[in-house]
Structure 1
């Protein structure tokens, strides 16, 4: 059986291109080799199954293979299986555990049966190539590089990286978000969201305890950088001489227009994903508690309701609608969604700006980032204040509509 190969990589091209300019020959060579290998993978037309039945449903059974620094997945040796003992190789064990954490997260939180919801088996490949500075999902399996040891470490080290990559598979089997421009940035953002949720769920962290960082473990201790990306503060994950400043925007006013090409990161999918990332963070902190519960459910149902060319505006509208379907019109959850998208410069369609502002102000009275959902009295006061503000807005709109109706009548009478 064959399948189209288009690997979704955790390391964006702009970081590797920065490393190409490094004065350190080893860093330069590792970056060049990674870019060339990734380009060749994208150019391959198909990837053959590693063994018979690889794509068949398998109750989410895990198998981790050791590439032994080779690039031919078909030559990799089995290192750990679902029924086998732990390996002496910690990379194998971390990959195995990360695959399991992601599988169990989707099953326990969303009742999803593996990546494709049909029990897809989960295959991981470690020690791919030599000094490979990336990890990717190719539509069938998860592949991990060891890093160059100077800039990047073993990519099995971050469970959110594993959750991120496997979520590309979930997206392929739901919305199928096209990997370019805004739909591609949404694709990357969804993977960041659920990658972070896998980590938070595994550690049982609340929204206040979570670090909201993607891949904080992938840099070596010698690199001044918090992580690859920050969902809480897009654009602030790193700022150093090696990589420069994190280019992610946190608002639509800062949206980065790049070519829809390999060199342009297909329209900046790893860059503009900061905008919907920030929207999810604001939603989660606006609601409070555990982010995989209400916010995660809203985003998951919205993903399933989306399509290949869904844009930021479309997705924002869908999250607002799903929040109403799941929790009720005017609920704290829906107001948190509205406030969050407003916070990144995306207005929900059909909600007049004045009304939206009144609702978000009402939500904001319950906490610095919106509704906290933890104090019933505060929430009630906020809702009452919100209703009063809404009544004023609706009254003002009614006066405007009445005035317009009179003007129209007068115009008709004058003809």
Structure 2
């Protein structure tokens, strides 16, 4: 890791206060792919290098899109564009190419296809939509029924899934390190939450605000999984990407909110670098200032908060995080302490001086983030 982070974010990583600033957000961070690209086995290094190249091209496209305007996704023929309160999903097949969105293979209300990847993507979009609507009364990512578009079978042996500012995209994995990226529903929920953040707090994708952006996606990604499984906080695994790693890889997931830094320890992948507290905070210029690394700190705070409260994490703990994300007071360049203070205020506003307030204050204290 580099020793010192730059004082300011690159222009391409900055958010605009005058409107949403969409950025390319992927589930597998660059430091993981960089490590894999150095492997001696070409079956591991080759796909990793190609994925890094593809991701770099997507980031460039995202910067150009920000400058000249977004790609227009046409509504499927015959679709009711005024419908609200129900999902409007469209799944496309890239057929191992990179042109987006690809060939439409399933629309809203269509029966399942013979392709399990298509069906998992469709179900994952629906699960995320249902959590937002049922738990928080929000109609899709933008609150106004935004259609949800996803493309599967992107490129060949592509080791990532991403939100590009307009839609979801899933690779099939290389089969050596990563499996199909539609397998974990929390990965789908995670990437779609980048869209939710884009339409709400619009957190700048650099440094601590970028780590909060990643953490919020991990929080709601894991809540999508728990909501789908109807799990209480004490029964959940609190893993991001469980089931994504191929057999033979020494690890259980990409990240652990319960125990950051323990998700994997593998000769090819390296060791999970996430810290759980501010004592282990990593200063780096890589990965947009360590957005996928230091997100372990607010992740762990949410885990401590939710498990202290008990019950279903999306009901009280998740509600407070949602209130902060959508409440209009979270600045685009917020740091951990800013976010923590707003969660305390949100807990007091919604629940009063009750168990929720005590638990959230204690959780942030345990990870070394001040709330006053």
How far apart in 2 are the matches of 1:215 and 1:134? 11
CA distance 1:57–1:39, shift in 2 (3 Å): farther
Q: Which runs of 5+ in 2 are unaligned?
A: 1-19
Distance 2:31 2:195 in 1: 23
Q: CA deviation at 1:246?
A: 0.8
Superposed CA offset, 1:288-329 (max 9, x none): 111001100111101123120111000100101111111112
Rounded Cα–Cα distance in structure 1 between residues aligned with 2:49 and 2:134: 41
**Which of these residues, 305, 311, 324, is aligned with residue 289 of structure 1?**
311
Matched residue, 1:338: 361
What SS does the corresponding residue of 1:78 show, helix, strand or coil?
strand
**How many residues end up aligned between the 2 structures?**
341
Correspondence 1:344-383 to 2 at 5 A = 344-349=367-372
Counterpart position of 1:308: 332
Root-mean-square deviation (CA, aligned residues, Å) is 1.6
Q: CA deviation at 1:224?
A: 1.1
Query: How far has the Cα of 1:51 moved from its partner?
Result: 2.6
Larger CA Rg, structure 1 vs 2: 1
Match of 1:206 in 2: 232
Of Structure 1 and Structure 2, the greater helix share is in 1
2:183 maps to which of 144, 157, 161: 157
- 2:95 paired residue among 68, 78, 81: 68
Distance 1:335 1:157 in 2: 37
- Cα deviation per residue 1:153-173 (whole Å; 9 max; x = unaligned)? 000001000000000011111
Find the aligned partners of 2:73 and 2:216 in 1 and give their Cα distance: 28
Does residue 48 of structure 2 align to residue 31 of structure 1? Answer: yes
Q: How many angstroms apart in 2 are the aligned matches of 1:94 and 1:205?
A: 20
1:99 to 125, 131, 137: 125
Alpha-carbon distance in 2 for matches of 1:297, 1:79? 35
Please give the secondary structure, in 1, of the residue aligned with 2:291: helix
Residue 52 of structure 1 deviates from its aligned partner by 5.4
**Other-structure match for 2:347:** 323
- How far apart, CA to CA, are the structure 2 residues paired with 1:151 and 1:129? 16
Q: How far off is 1:53 after superposition?
A: 7.9
Asked whether the equivalents of residues 57 and 121 of structure 1 are also in contact (C-alpha less than 8 Å), the reply is no
**Divergent runs of 4+, >2 A:** 3-6, 46-54, 56-60
Displacement of 1:346? 1.0
C-alpha contact 2:23 2:205 (8 A) present in aligned 1: no
Gaps of 5+ in 1: 350-415
Correspondence 1:16-415 to 2 at 5 A: 16-44=33-61, 45-46=64-65, 48-51=71-74, 59=84, 60-74=87-101, 76-259=102-285, 264-305=286-327, 306-329=330-353, 331-349=354-372
Spell out, residue by residue over 1:348-384, the C-alpha distance to the aligned partner (whole angstroms, 9 max, x if none). 11xxxxxxxxxxxxxxxxxxxxxxxxxxxxxxxxxxx
Q: How many Å separate the matches in 2 of 1:123 and 1:147?
A: 20
CA offsets, 1:132-154, max 9 Å, x none?
A: 00000011110000000111000
Cα distance in 2 between the residues matched to 1:19 and 1:348: 39
TM normalised by structure 2 equals 0.89
Highest RCO, 1 vs 2 (Cα 8 Å, sep ≥ 6): 2
| Structure 2 counterpart SS, 1:79 | strand
Which SS does the other structure have where 2:191 is aligned?
A: helix
Residue 14 of structure 1 corresponds to which residue in structure 2?
Answer: 31
1-side partners of 2:365 and 2:22: how far apart? 37
Cα distance in 1 between the residues matched to 2:370 and 2:331: 20
